[in-house]
Amino acid sequence: MDLQTRLEALVTPTLEGMGYELVRVQYQGTVRPTLQIMAERQDGKDMTVDDCADISRALSAVLDVEDPIPAAYTLEVSSPGIDRPLVRRKDFERYAGFDVKLDAKQPIDGRKRFRGRLLGIGEDDLIRLEIESGEVAIPFADLHRAKLVLTDELIAATLKDQEQ
């Protein structure tokens, strides 16, 4: 089992038990490595600094006991934010209609980078984007990274969600 999978397996039960959902685990750096845990509330409410602090304390205990990373590292707990990364299938369903930046692992029609309106993801695991030249489909398995683009439309939708 690779480190990414092991870390996800270690932190997910604790997060879920606390009422949160794992968005992403990212371990990066060599001189001062950082383990970033990105989470969101299961109830859909905004994350607070206290939420991040609670998660940090709980996960520090789990990670200290299991010790999956032998070297010293910094634990960073955060929320996805408004221009969040899209990493799970449900992210591509939930944010259909918004602008995204997407990088593919393999070239599609001669390019790897795309920016356009997210049309969603189908049963065929194809992420569909409306771009300037038409529509493009990127296999979910070929996704390198994707994130929402901060637009007035996204801000308005976020504010509307917060009011409810």
Residue 37 pairs in a beta bridge with 25, 77
What is the model's pLDDT at position 79? Answer: 94
What is the model's pLDDT at position 164? Answer: 65
Mean model confidence pLDDT for the chain: 93
Q: Is the pLDDT of residue 30 over 90?
A: no
What is the model's pLDDT at position 148? Answer: 97
pLDDT digit string, tens, across residues 59-116: 999 999 999 998 899 999 999 989 999 999 999 999 999 999 999 999 998 999 999 9
Q: Average pLDDT of 128-139?
A: 95
- For 29, other C-beta atoms within 10 Å of its C-beta total 11
Cα(142)–Cα(136) distance, integer angstroms: 13
pLDDT digit string, tens, across residues 116-126: 999 999 999 99
Cα(104)–Cα(145) distance, integer angstroms: 7
Is domain 89-163 classified as CATH 2.30.30.100? yes
Band of residue 20 on the pLDDT scale cut at 50, 70, 90: very high
Half-sphere exposure of 59 (CA within 13 A, CB side): 30
- Domain chopping of the chain, boundaries: 3-78, 89-163
Rg, C-alpha atoms of the chain = 17
Torsion-angle region of 67 (φ positive above 0: left; ψ -120 to 50: alpha; else: beta): left
What is the model's pLDDT at position 40? Answer: 95
Is domain 3-78 classified as CATH 3.40.190.10? no
